Amino acid sequence: MGIHYKREKKRKLELLYLTYRRLMFHVAYGILKDEGLAEDAVHQAFLKILENFDKVGDILSHKSKSYVVTIVRNVAINMYNSRKRHSIISLEETKSCIDVGNLEPTDDLNSLVEAVMNLTIIYKDVIKLKYIHEFSSIEIARVLGISEMAVRKRIERAKRMLAEILGGEGDSDED
């Protein structure tokens, strides 16, 4: 059974690579504006995806596509910021990247999904990783390269923003 499992995992990883490598490169290049750096970002993103590969379900699903784009975008932003040291990438630059976070919601979820999509990237990413991809705060911290406390704070702030957007009184204590 071990050999069969390894073969299936290898096939799944190959399918993920073949399916999303161009999209990942496009997203990374849109941020980094350098082919070599974009290729490095794609490579690093695949390593991060491999660390959490058990979280990846159907490779061809919108959920997997969203996860892959989230990871490569964050890797590219981190690379960009580390090269510029004190420069923070602007939201305008990241908007040029493809946003594939839409998960074809049902009518009753439309307003929530729209509100999440209107959050800034740092909040949108933690919400997607936490509630769509079901990552723990520790896993999110590792993937995004930030502290667990920063993840928790971003989730809290995102919930507060969503409550304001949706006109409700959000409970930021839920996790």
pTM over 0.75: no
- pLDDT on residue 99: 45
* 146 and 86, same domain (yes or no): no
pLDDT in tens, 105-146: 444 467 777 888 888 988 988 988 888 888 889 989 888 888
Do 126 and 71 lie in one domain? The reply is: no
Domain final position from 99, 124, 159: 99
Do residues 31 and 89 touch, judged by C-beta distance below 8 A? yes
